[in-house]
């Protein structure tokens, strides 16, 4: 019975070596497969007839990473006081859609928010042109902290333009 167990154990151990050979592994666990030499182009990978080593090719040329087609758009700096006198359409073009719109008669208030600051633009009806125009604005920092007006408006516009 002991001989049978020893024979079975030796057969199992021998088969482990055959499995590592089939998997392309050496005794130390490293692979027998090789990548192309540093100077060799990925397309030149091929099997050598003189030996049994196989050279693998990466799935694509790693140097051919596409460059971005468009450059980030530079956002022109503006002063918040330029908002005064603009129509709703002009403000929307300049800053984008407001986060909230509130009716506070006789005004309509558009609110914009981003990290660290908030902007409220107050629109009143211009009787002569029959259009709502920005008459005033209010900038606020988080928790009552003062913030530079140009910085706050720049942050809000950067969110719109993705820069």
CATH number of the domain that 124 lies in? 3.30.1450
Whether 68 maps to a domain, the answer reads no
**Domain span at residue 151?**
80-161
Q: Please report the beta strands in 45-159, taking only residues with DSSP state E, as ranges in sequence order.
A: 100-104, 107-114, 117-126, 131-141
Q: Kindly state the average pLDDT of the residues 143-148.
A: 80
pLDDT at 129: 92
Whether 53 maps to a domain, the answer reads no
Q: How many domains does the chain have?
A: 2
Q: Kindly state the average pLDDT of the residues 116-127.
A: 94
């Amino acid at each position: 019975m002991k001989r049978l167990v020893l024979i079975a154990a030796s057969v199992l151990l021998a088969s482990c070596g055959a499995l590592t050979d089939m998997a392309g592994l050496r005794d130390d666990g490293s692979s027998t497969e090789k990548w192309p030499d540093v100077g060799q182009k990925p397309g030149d990978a091929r099997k050598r007839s003189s030996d049994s080593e196989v050279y693998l090719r990466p799935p694509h040329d790693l140097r051919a990473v596409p460059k971005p087609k468009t450059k980030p758009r530079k956002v022109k700096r503006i002063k918040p006081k330029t908002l005064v006198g603009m129509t709703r359409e002009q403000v929307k073009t300049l800053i984008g859609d407001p986060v909230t719109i509130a009716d506070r008669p006789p005004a309509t208030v558009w609110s914009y928010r981003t990290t660290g600051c908030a902007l409220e633009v107050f629109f009143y009806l211009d009787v002569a042109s029959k259009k709502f125009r920005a008459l005033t604005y209010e900038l606020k920092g988080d928790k009552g902290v003062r913030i530079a007006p140009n910085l706050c408006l720049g942050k809000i516009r950067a969110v719109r333009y993705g820069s």
